[in-house]
């Protein structure tokens, strides 16, 4: 062939362009990866893998449910039992919105080796609902009229306690004393005294106690622990956690059942240690609004955030707690605050320091809650070297004045407004530098964790771990030590709000420092302001 120079230019002119674009694209990716691996090597963070849980072999664990209200039903679903009403409701919800995967996730959940053997609820309608949904000719479920009957029956290996707070400890103690395993909802106890009694009972019992802080199963929190332990954040001096809700459900104004009356509800049993007041539907269904049965924001929601951080930092009980707030958004007869700020002081605590020895020590844990606004404020750990946002996703930004990252900031390998690490289990990829698309996977709830990119109910994992320890021995994630720390810290917050005083912990003697003239448990229960309601509120 006889090609002229002109022919070659016209025919092959595209080749150098192709080569240049190819090279530029490849080089930019490789360069970006190199920068990223340099940061990742420096940080040396490894995302946590799920625990290997030994199987729950042998005979099924015979479980009794105490309390089949909103949370009780949720816990049963985590155990593998959903009411027909719920399934029907979720089927319709999925037809309306294909993104609603509640039923699909439930059906895909692994089966646990349990036998639902007993139910106990003081409201007939709820107990009947459980029997109708779960009792089969092969597996008859027995209804017990009191928790004591259930525990003493000898037919139950383990109980799940999802009652109002004032019943948590008496039931858990009774069960543990009879070597019946316990899964108890948070807060673990309702008074300071009970917290010690339950600790004693747990220590002396052969049975296993798990406190219902299911987020201890969340993999991002385990990864967060690794991040903090490696000094990635430097000295953390302040933690901010928040609750923001602005709806009736979030303010505990739950529906009042139409069939609720003195015939269908065992009112005396509901009251238990609470002041004897006439039958009151509002108290029964919305018990979280009164100190006599519930623990307000400090016991209900602060405990989530406190334990989440205790799981990451293992900081224990604060030396001092001061709280403020009031009933500002739902002045509807409740006596627990709906706006609450709690500052917990840990003067001796440190996550390590990149500066001169002794310069940094101590931390404040600041919890801020409102039931009158739903703006999403994230949980933030603020360290000298970096800031971490903690949720199902973790994001870390370097601090502009960091000592540890000074060189990398100087050479612009890091920039203060660009995350240096992002853990996003839903994306299945730990990402050093955030991309716009990875933002879509964000999920901040306490409900889910991700294993190999698949969404898993953390309560299911928490219960599975409890059942596995019952069968195989070992340690649960949220046992009596964790539960004790959670309960005491929550009670300190409640006491501080009620007394308008700073409440201090004597760590050496493991007791609250006394306040003259004050009986802590009387304050926790009655606040000196307790008024017996005289009218029966109709729902």
Under the rule (CB under 8 A), what is the footprint of another protein?
2-4, 6-7, 10-15, 17-18, 21-22, 24-26, 28-30, 33, 98, 427, 429, 431, 436-441, 453
Task: Indicate the residue among 320 and 429 with the shorter CB distance to another protein.
Answer: 429
Task: Indicate the residue among 223 and 237 with the shorter CB distance to another protein.
Answer: 223
* Smallest separation, CB 62 to another protein (Å): 37
* Smallest separation, CB 394 to another protein (Å): 17
d(CA 325, CA 340): 4
Retrieve residue 18's tokens. 């192709």
* Smallest separation, CB 464 to another protein (Å): 23
Give all strands (DSSP E) within 89-208, no chain letters. Answer: 114-120, 142-143, 158-161, 181-184
**Exposed, middle or buried by CB within 10 Å (0-12, 13-18, 19+), for 139?**
exposed
Task: Indicate the residue among 15 and 532 with the shorter CB distance to another protein.
Answer: 15
Task: Indicate the residue among 254 and 441 with the shorter CB distance to another protein.
Answer: 441
* Smallest separation, CB 249 to another protein (Å): 27
Task: Indicate the residue among 240 and 438 with the shorter CB distance to another protein.
Answer: 438
367 beta partners: 241, 342
d(CA 456, CA 41): 30
Residue closest to 209 by CA, chosen among 483, 446, 510: 483
Task: Indicate the residue among 13 and 358 with the shorter CB distance to another protein.
Answer: 13
**Exposed, middle or buried by CB within 10 Å (0-12, 13-18, 19+), for 8?**
exposed
* Smallest separation, CB 26 to another protein (Å): 5
* Smallest separation, CB 230 to another protein (Å): 23
H or E segment to which residue 395 belongs: strand 394-398
d(CA 506, CA 520): 15
End-to-end CA distance of the chain: 97
Give all strands (DSSP E) within 413-463, no chain letters. Answer: 421-423, 448-451, 454-457
* Smallest separation, CB 97 to another protein (Å): 11
* Smallest separation, CB 397 to another protein (Å): 21
Task: Indicate the residue among 15 and 52 with the shorter CB distance to another protein.
Answer: 15
Residue closest to 239 by CA, chosen among 306, 300, 331: 306
CB 251 within 8 A of CB 245: yes
Task: Indicate the residue among 93 and 131 with the shorter CB distance to another protein.
Answer: 93
Task: Indicate the residue among 98 and 137 with the shorter CB distance to another protein.
Answer: 98
* Smallest separation, CB 28 to another protein (Å): 7
Task: Map residue 335 onto helix, strand or coil.
Answer: coil
Task: Map residue 374 onto helix, strand or coil.
Answer: coil
* Smallest separation, CB 412 to another protein (Å): 22
450 beta partners: 455
**Residue ranges of the alpha helices (H) in 205-355?**
219-229, 267-271, 281-285, 296-300, 302-313
Tokens 């926790």 correspond to: 524
d(CA 379, CA 371): 17
Retrieve residue 386's tokens. 């970096």
Distance of CA 460 to the CA centre of its chain: 13
Residues 6+ apart with CB under 8 A from 457: 77, 78, 105, 109, 447, 448
Task: Indicate the residue among 28 and 324 with the shorter CB distance to another protein.
Answer: 28
Residue closest to 391 by CA, chosen among 307, 306, 459, 449: 449
* Smallest separation, CB 24 to another protein (Å): 7
Task: Indicate the residue among 5 and 531 with the shorter CB distance to another protein.
Answer: 5
Task: Indicate the residue among 145 and 435 with the shorter CB distance to another protein.
Answer: 435
* Smallest separation, CB 217 to another protein (Å): 22
Task: Indicate the residue among 196 and 441 with the shorter CB distance to another protein.
Answer: 441
* Smallest separation, CB 440 to another protein (Å): 5
Retrieve residue 531's tokens. 């008024």
Task: Say whether the peptide bond before residue 187 is cis (omega within 30 degrees of 0).
Answer: yes
In the chain, what's the furthest Cα-to-Cα distance? Answer: 110
């Amino acid at each position: 062939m006889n090609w002229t120079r002109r022919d070659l230019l016209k025919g092959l002119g595209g080749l150098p362009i192709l080569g240049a674009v190819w090279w530029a694209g490849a080089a930019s990716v490789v360069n970006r990866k190199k920068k990223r691996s340099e940061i990742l090597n420096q940080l040396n963070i490894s995302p946590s893998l799920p625990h290997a849980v030994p199987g729950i072999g042998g005979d099924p664990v015979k479980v009794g449910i105490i309390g089949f209200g909103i949370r009780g039903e949720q816990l049963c679903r985590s155990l593998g039992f959903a009411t027909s009403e719920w399934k029907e409701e979720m089927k319709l919800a999925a037809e309306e919105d294909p993104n609603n995967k509640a039923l699909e996730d439930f059906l895909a959940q692994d089966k646990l080796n349990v036998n639902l053997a007993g139910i106990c609820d003081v409201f007939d309608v709820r107990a009947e609902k459980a029997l109708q949904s779960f009792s089969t000719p092969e597996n008859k479920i027995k209804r017990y009229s009191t928790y004591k009957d259930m525990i003493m029956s000898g037919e139950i290996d383990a109980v799940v306690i999802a009652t109002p707070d004032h019943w948590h400890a008496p039931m858990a103690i009774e069960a543990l004393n009879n070597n019946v395993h316990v899964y108890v909802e948070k807060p673990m106890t309702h008074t300071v005294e009970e917290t010690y009694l339950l600790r004693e009972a747990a220590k002396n019992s052969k049975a296993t106690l798990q406190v219902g802080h299911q987020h201890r199963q969340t993999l991002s929190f385990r990864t967060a622990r690794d991040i903090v332990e490696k000094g990635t954040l430097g000295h953390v001096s302040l933690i901010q956690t928040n609750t923001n809700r602005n709806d009736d459900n979030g303010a505990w104004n739950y529906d009042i059942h139409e069939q609720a009356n003195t015939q269908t509800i065992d009112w005396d049993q509901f009251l238990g240690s609470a002041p004897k007041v006439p039958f009151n539907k509002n108290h029964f269904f919305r018990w979280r609004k009164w100190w006599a049965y519930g623990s307000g924001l400090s016991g209900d929601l602060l405990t989530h955030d406190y334990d989440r951080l205790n799981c990451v930092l293992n900081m224990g009980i604060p030396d001092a707690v001061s709280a403020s707030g009031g009933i500002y958004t739902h002045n509807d007869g409740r006596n627990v605050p709906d706006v609450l700020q709690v500052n917990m002081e840990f003067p001796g605590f440190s996550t390590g320091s990149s500066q001169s020895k002794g310069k940094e020590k101590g931390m404040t844990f600041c919890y801020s809650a409102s039931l009158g606004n739903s703006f999403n404020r994230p949980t933030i750990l603020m360290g000298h070297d970096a800031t971490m946002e903690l949720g199902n996703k973790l994001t870390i930004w370097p601090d502009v004045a960091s000592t540890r990252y000074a060189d990398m900031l100087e050479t612009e390998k890091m920039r203060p407004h660009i995350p240096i690490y992002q853990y996003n289990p839903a994306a299945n990829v730990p990402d050093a530098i955030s991309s716009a698309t990875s933002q879509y996977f964000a999920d901040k709830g306490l409900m889910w964790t991700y294993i190999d990119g698949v969404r898993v109910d953390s309560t299911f994992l928490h219960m599975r771990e409890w059942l596995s320890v019952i069968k195989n021995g070992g340690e649960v994630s949220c046992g009596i030590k964790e539960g004790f720390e959670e309960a005491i810290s929550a009670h300190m917050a409640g006491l501080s709000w009620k007394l308008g005083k700073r409440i201090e912990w004597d760590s050496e003697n493991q007791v609250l420092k006394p306040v003259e003239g004050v009986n802590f448990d009387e304050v926790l229960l009655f606040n000196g302001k307790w008024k017996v309601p005289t009218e029966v509120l109709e729902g």
